[in-house]
């Protein structure tokens, strides 16, 4: 049994900075990552970094194809997908190399590869393929094991070649006709990306709207934009079965009680993610989970077992890199600096990286209604954004929810160029108690997208 001060399981978006911070503070720390291939976690290897890199290439292609809006004609646009993929692979490799170097060079920190699981309340067993299991014990244990793609039960799927979010990012060819099951973040981002690379894309979704947690007007606006680009949507659709004959995949589903069939050359299934806690033998430590397998934590990210914490996607709730990173900040503040930081009142921003982006922060209209708040909704269409007009980017919708009693901004959704950056500005206003009325006359430089926040908040009476 090897004794440490801290054990971190999973080299995710919280595990890596936490390992560096604890070890720099003098705590003898071990970071256990399942495989060297996944060092750096989902975001770096198979999530944000590869997807956003390829999405940027697809955007470059789209800009060229639509340059005629500016009177510029470009004949015969073509793509060498091998180069596009290499650019992505190089960026991922570089990010990972940086993570590895930092971890390996840190004092007081051991990085080991293998699958970790609990063998007792404060003991962790690590198994890799070639060696005998190693046992560690420590007063502090941090779980940052994340999630993996969830696959729905679909009749016939086992006989079909299909891709999840990881496999589709590795394709060496551009699909002729891509069927996507699921219209969440990944389905929309990667669906639009392959459409821009030249695929015909059909998205099948069981809910009545895309990005099903968002307000209906936001979902409808984004769907219209994607349809204008050529993507096709089937909502309210229940998958019945899937079949493959050579290169032809046939998906059968019922939509509004009518049976429909579509054909494609490739199939992407992106219907959410599931907890990786099943590898951890949490029962041996008595750590409690919810009914979906996420680890239960309090507002300080403590599990029910003293000294054991869960951070990032594995604790349930919003699954974003920046939330996982903020979990690390909370835990390290409390342990190393004896602060009293918690998740309470944390303002959650996120961005769907379609183009235009959907930037979101705080409460949606739907959530404000559910909370029975006294609020006003203000909206302006993308065509009123001056900077967008000048840049031939007039799509979208800007929307904010404002509390009537306090004049505080409760939340916003911005579909538009750099929608994610725009909602970050609103987030700063929310955090700094800058009121909605202040933003009516706040000085932003002209002509920026930010300047149109004056126009949005001017909609308030």
Ligand X SMILES: Cc1cc2nc3c(=O)[nH]c(=O)nc-3n(C[C@H](O)[C@H](O)[C@H](O)COP(=O)(O)OP(=O)(O)OC[C@H]3O[C@@H](n4cnc5c(N)ncnc54)[C@H](O)[C@@H]3O)c2cc1C
Written as six digits, the tokens of 363 are 């409460």
Contact 285, 121 (CB under 8 A): yes
Q: Does 364 participate in binding ligand NAD (rule CB under 6 A)?
A: no
Residue 411 Cβ vs ligand NAD, minimum distance, rounded to whole Å:
17
Is the CB of 6 or the CB of 378 nearer to ligand X?
6
The CA distances from residue 182 to 154, 179, 185, 262, 377, in Å, are 13, 10, 9, 15, 29
Is 420 annotated to bind a ligand? Reply is no
DSSP-assigned letters across all residues of 269-317 = E---EEESGGGS-GGGTT--B-TTSPBP--TT-B-SSTTEEE-GGGG-S
Q: Which of 4, 12, 411, 452 binds ligand X (CB under 6 A)?
A: 12
212 binds, among ligand NAD, ligand X, none (CB under 5 to 8 A by kind): ligand NAD
Which residues, 248 to 277, sit near ligand NAD by CB under 6 A? Answer: 270-273
Contact 148, 248 (CB under 8 A): no
Reported as type and span, the H/E element at residue 459 is: none
Task: Quote the CA–CA distance of 166 and 84 in Å, as a whole number.
Answer: 16
The CA distances from residue 335 to 307, 308, 341, in Å, are 10, 12, 10
Q: Which of 271, 321, 423, 452 binds ligand X (CB under 6 A)?
A: 321
205 binds, among ligand X, ligand NAD, none (CB under 5 to 8 A by kind): ligand NAD
Question: What SS3 class is residue 170?
Answer: coil
The piece of 67-75, 83-91, 183-191, 365-373 that touches ligand NAD (CB under 6 A) is 183-191
Task: Quote the CA–CA distance of 293 and 277 in Å, as a whole number.
Answer: 6
Written as six digits, the tokens of 365 are 């209209």
Which residues, 32 to 61, sit near ligand X by CB under 6 A? Answer: 32-34, 38, 41-43, 47-48, 51-52
> Which DSSP symbol is given to 318?
-
Task: Quote the CA–CA distance of 146 and 144 in Å, as a whole number.
Answer: 6
Is 182 annotated to bind a ligand? Reply is yes
Residues facing 262 on adjacent strands? 251
181 binds, among ligand NAD, ligand X, none (CB under 5 to 8 A by kind): ligand NAD
Is 416 annotated to bind a ligand? Reply is no
Q: Does 212 participate in binding ligand NAD (rule CB under 6 A)?
A: yes
Q: Does 350 participate in binding ligand NAD (rule CB under 6 A)?
A: yes
Instruction: Please give the sequence-ordered ranges of beta strands (E in DSSP) within 146-190, or none if there are none.
Output: 147-149, 177-181
Q: Which single residue is written with the structure tokens 């009476």?
A: 461
Is 307 annotated to bind a ligand? Reply is no
Site string for ligand X, 69-108 (x = CB under 6 A): ----------------------------------------
Is 238 annotated to bind a ligand? Reply is no
62 is catalytic: no
Task: Quote the CA–CA distance of 164 and 212 in Å, as a whole number.
Answer: 20
Is 10 annotated to bind a ligand? Reply is no
Q: Does 324 participate in binding ligand X (rule CB under 6 A)?
A: yes
Instruction: Select the residue whose beta carbon is closest to ligand NAD and give its number.
Output: 184
Number of residues that bind ligand NAD (CB under 6 A): 25
Q: Which of 197, 294, 328, 353 binds ligand NAD (CB under 6 A)?
A: 353
Contact 250, 261 (CB under 8 A): yes
Q: Does 276 participate in binding ligand X (rule CB under 6 A)?
A: yes
Residues whose CB is less than 8 angstroms from the CB of residue 101 and which lie 6 or more positions away in sequence, other chains included: none
Question: What are the residues binding ligand NAD (CB under 6 A)?
Answer: 152, 181-187, 189, 204-207, 212, 239, 270-273, 319-320, 350-353
- Residues known to be catalytic: 446
Question: What are the residues binding ligand X (CB under 6 A)?
Answer: 9-14, 32-34, 38, 41-43, 47-48, 51-52, 115-116, 144-147, 165, 186, 276, 279-280, 312-314, 319-322, 324, 353
């Amino acid at each position: 049994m090897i004794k440490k001060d801290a054990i971190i399981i999973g080299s995710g978006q919280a595990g890596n900075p936490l390992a560096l911070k604890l070890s720099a503070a003098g705590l003898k720390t071990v970071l256990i990552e399942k495989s060297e291939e996944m060092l750096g976690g989902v975001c770096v290897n198979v999530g944000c970094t590869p997807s956003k890199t390829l999405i940027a290439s697809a955007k470059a292609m789209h800009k060229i194809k639509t340059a005629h809006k500016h009177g510029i004609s470009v004949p015969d646009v073509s793509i060498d997908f091998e180069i596009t993929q290499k650019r992505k692979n190089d960026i991922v490799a570089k990010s990972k190399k940086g993570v590895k170097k930092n971890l390996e060079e840190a004092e007081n920190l051991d990085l080991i590869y293998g699958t970790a699981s609990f063998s007792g309340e404060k003991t962790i067993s690590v198994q890799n393929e070639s060696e005998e299991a190693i046992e560690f014990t420590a007063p502090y244990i941090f779980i940052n094991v994340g999630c993996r793609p969830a696959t729905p039960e679909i009749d016939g799927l086992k006989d079909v070649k299909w891709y999840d979010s990881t496999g589709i990012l590795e394709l060496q060819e551009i699909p002729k006709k891509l069927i996507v099951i699921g219209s969440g973040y990944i389905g929309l981002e990667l669906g639009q990306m392959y459409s821009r690379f030249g695929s015909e894309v059909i998205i099948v979704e069981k809910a009545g709207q895309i990005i099903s947690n968002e307000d209906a007007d936001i979902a409808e606006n984004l769907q219209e934009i994607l349809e204008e680009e050529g993507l096709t949507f089937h909502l309210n659709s229940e998958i019945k079965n899937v079949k493959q004959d050579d290169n032809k995949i046939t998906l059968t589903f019922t939509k509004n009680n009518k049976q429909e069939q579509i054909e494609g050359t490739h199939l992407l299934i992106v219907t959410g993610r599931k907890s990786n806690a099943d590898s951890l033998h949490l029962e041996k430590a008595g750590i409690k989970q919810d009914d979906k397998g996420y680890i239960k934590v309090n507002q300080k990210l403590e599990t029910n077992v003293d000294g054991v914490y869960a951070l990032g996607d594995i604790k349930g709730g919003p699954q974003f890199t920046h939330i996982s990173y903020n979990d690390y900040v909370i835990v390290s503040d409390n342990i190393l600096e004896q602060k009293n930081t918690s998740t309470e009142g944390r303002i959650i921003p996120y961005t769907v990286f379609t183009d235009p982006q959907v930037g979101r922060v705080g409460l949606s209209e739907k959530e404000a209604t559910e909370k029975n708040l006294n609020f006003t909704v203000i909206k302006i269409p993308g065509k009123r954004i001056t900077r967008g007009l000048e840049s031939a980017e007039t799509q979208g919708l800007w929307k904010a929810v404002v509390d009537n009693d306090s004049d505080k901004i409760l939340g916003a959704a911005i579909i538009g160029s750099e929608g994610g950056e725009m909602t970050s500005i609103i987030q700063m206003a929310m955090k700094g108690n800058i009121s909605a009325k202040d933003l009516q006359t706040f000085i932003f430089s002209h002509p920026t997208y930010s300047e149109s926040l004056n126009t949005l908040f001017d909609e308030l009476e």
